[in-house]
Amino acid sequence: MKKEDLLYLNLILFHVGIGFLVYLFPFVSKIYGYAIFIFGIYYVIKNKNRHNEALFMAAYIVGSEVFLRMTHGNPLYEISKYGVIVFIFIGMYFSGFSKQAIPYWLFLLLLVPSVVMSGFVLDFDTNIKNSIAFNISGPVCLGVASLYTFRRKISLVEMNFILLGMGLPIVTTMVYLTFYTPNIRDLITGTQSSFETSGGYGPNQVATILGLGMFVFFSRIILESRTKFLIFLNLFLALNITYRGLITFSRGGMITGFLMIILLLLFLYFKSNYKGKVKLNYIIVIIAIVLVATWGYISFQTGGLIDKRYANQDSAGRVKESKFTGREQVAENEIDTFLKNPIFGVGVGKGVEVRLAETGDSTLSHDEITRMLAEHGSLGIIGLLILFFTPLFLYLENKFNMYLLCCVAFWFLTINHAAMRTAAPAFVYSLSLLNVYLGKPGEVRS
């Protein structure tokens, strides 16, 4: 076995071991959570961010966030978003930030009026600090990370290393879920999202991070597997993560992951020469076969309930009236709130209070777009337009970044079904702004 293959295997086995240890001894999760920040800061400072170690550690935090929440290993619920910001600031200290990132300075400034307004309009018994932080930490994390990544030159090798940083703790999540729910036959009795197969945590967030992990390891099969051993290992990881994601019965994250894989394959296919397209054809066929086999196995285990879930049917085969489990009512209420307050919105965190007063429903928003409309008004629309179009303009000048469209798709689709509850959509979006080049790390620097 080659030295590189052995190192990669040891990394995987290390994270497999963490998942197993946390299952046996839950307190290990807190040790793991604190160790990530302590070791990460040391790692970035020691290397002076020469090869974007700050981005690697930020990616690692993103990949571990759901696992640490699931196992109560996070010191604070929102600490992962703050952690990403801290590592980005350390990266800025050593490597600076883009002076051309005017769109993201503007985006951050557009958030300010509604934040200020919240101090005056939130109910007296509301914890103002927590309410604002919960709703604004995601957009701020995105804005700060984008200031660092905007047009930053980075090699494809470094980019794949950053994605691996997200993938490793997702392997830990997969292993933990495997021991948490070794047998799903008796647990799946309906077509609703399953907390039992999601480690007792929110299926939406678990499926989102597993869908991202599925993409990471499928991309490594194509781009980072130079030996048969690595192909087999990455395929094994990708399929197991896919299996664990599908049996959460939460659709949004898995559909997003599949779309990212399709976008990557299409990009590579159209950019490849004839020989490259032939290789991709083989890869596509193999991936399709194993995915169909995985789906068939899950369908057998769940008695066909997985088929009904994705067909929007209940366990009796009847088509459900709502495809979004009632979330569309929340979105409609937020649109109505925007129409009544079109300039500055109602203020950060006020949307749920308005909804409770008008409908008696205190459900938190799952759609960041409608939340931005309701709470930031027209300024929110401008901010969303900046976020949507800026990476697309960058794609016109740097069409080599094969991950750009994948990252934008992940951000856009995720904020439509899971808002910005986790740091993942914010950080993954910022990766779309990188100027990726083919060459050795350090050959071209920003």
Q: What is the pLDDT of residues 231-290, one digit of tens each?
A: 999 999 999 999 999 999 999 999 999 999 999 999 999 888 888 888 888 888 988 898
Query: Cα(181)–Cα(199) distance, rounded to whole angstroms?
Result: 8
Share of the chain above pLDDT 70, in %: 96
Query: Cα(237)–Cα(171) distance, rounded to whole angstroms?
Result: 7
Give the residue with greater pLDDT, 85 vs 129.
85
Q: Are 43 and 53 in contact (CB under 8 A)?
A: yes
Q: pLDDT band at 446, cuts 50/70/90?
A: very low
State mean pLDDT over 147-176: 96
Name residue 155's beta-bridge partners: 437
- Please identify which residue in the block is written with the tokens 């400072």: 45
* pLDDT at 324 exceeding the cut of 60: no
pLDDT of residue 442: 59
Q: Are 382 and 26 in contact (CB under 8 A)?
A: no
pLDDT of residue 322: 57
CA 188 → CA 70, 166, 174, 367, distances in Å?
20, 29, 18, 27
pLDDT tens digit string along 72-127? 999 888 899 999 999 999 999 999 998 899 999 999 999 999 999 988 888 767 77
Query: Cα(6)–Cα(287) distance, rounded to whole angstroms?
Result: 25
Write the single-letter amino acid at 2.
K
* pLDDT at 314 exceeding the cut of 80: no
Q: 76 — phi, psi (to 5°)?
A: -135, 150
Query: Cα(348)–Cα(135) distance, rounded to whole angstroms?
Result: 7
Share of the chain above pLDDT 90, in %: 65
Give the residue with greater pLDDT, 228 vs 211.
211
Sequence-ordered list of residues with C-beta below 8 angstroms from that of 124, at least 6 positions apart, any chain: none
* pLDDT at 129 exceeding the cut of 80: no
Query: Cα(245)–Cα(381) distance, rounded to whole angstroms?
Result: 32
pLDDT tens digit string along 331-347? 899 999 999 999 999 99
**β-bridge pairing 435-437 and 153-155:** parallel
Query: Cα(77)–Cα(323) distance, rounded to whole angstroms?
Result: 29
Query: Cα(32)–Cα(125) distance, rounded to whole angstroms?
Result: 35
**What's the predicted TM-score (pTM) here?**
0.94
Highest mean pLDDT: which range of 166-175, 279-288, 338-347, 359-368:
166-175
CA 83 → CA 30, 53, 138, 261, distances in Å?
15, 14, 12, 28
* pLDDT at 398 exceeding the cut of 80: no
Q: How many CB atoms lie within 10 A of CB 304?
A: 15
Three-class HEC string of the chain: CCHHHHHHHHHHHHHHHHHHHHHHCCCHHHHHHHHHHHHHHHHHHHHCCCCCHHHHHHHHHHHHHHHHHHCCCCCCCCHHHHHHHHHHHHHHHHHCCCCCCHHHHHHHHHHHHHHHHHHHHCCCCCCHHHHHHHHHHHHHHHHHHHHHHCCCEEEHHHHHHHHHHHHHHHHHHHHHHHHHCCCCCCCCCCCCCCCHHHCCCCHHHHHHHHHHHHHHHHHHHHHCCCCHHHHHHHHHHHHHHHHHHHCCCCHHHHHHHHHHHHHHHHHHHHHCCHHHHHHHHHHHHHHHHHHHHHHHHHHHHCCCHHHHHHCCECCCCCECCCCCCCHHHHHHHHHHHHHHCCCCCCCCCCHHHHHHHHHCCCCCCCCHHHHHHHHHHHHHHHHHHHHHHHHHHHHHHCCCCCCHHHHHHHHHHHHHHCCCCCCHHHHHHHHCCCEEECCCCCCCCC
Least confident of 97-111, 127-141, 306-320: 306-320
pLDDT of residue 325: 58
* pLDDT at 443 exceeding the cut of 70: no
Q: 249 — phi, psi (to 5°)?
A: 60, 20
What the block records as the tokens of 229 is 């051993």
pLDDT of residue 42: 97
* Residues across the chain: 446
What the block records as the tokens of 442 is 């350090």
Q: Report which of 104, 86, 106 is spatially closest to residue 45, judged by C-alpha positions.
A: 86
Q: Report which of 80, 121, 82, 124 is spatially closest to residue 348, judged by C-alpha positions.
A: 121
Least confident of 228-237, 279-288, 374-383, 418-427: 279-288
Query: Cα(35)–Cα(31) distance, rounded to whole angstroms?
Result: 6
pLDDT of residue 140: 96
Write the single-letter amino acid at 250.
S
Q: pLDDT band at 220, cuts 50/70/90?
A: very high
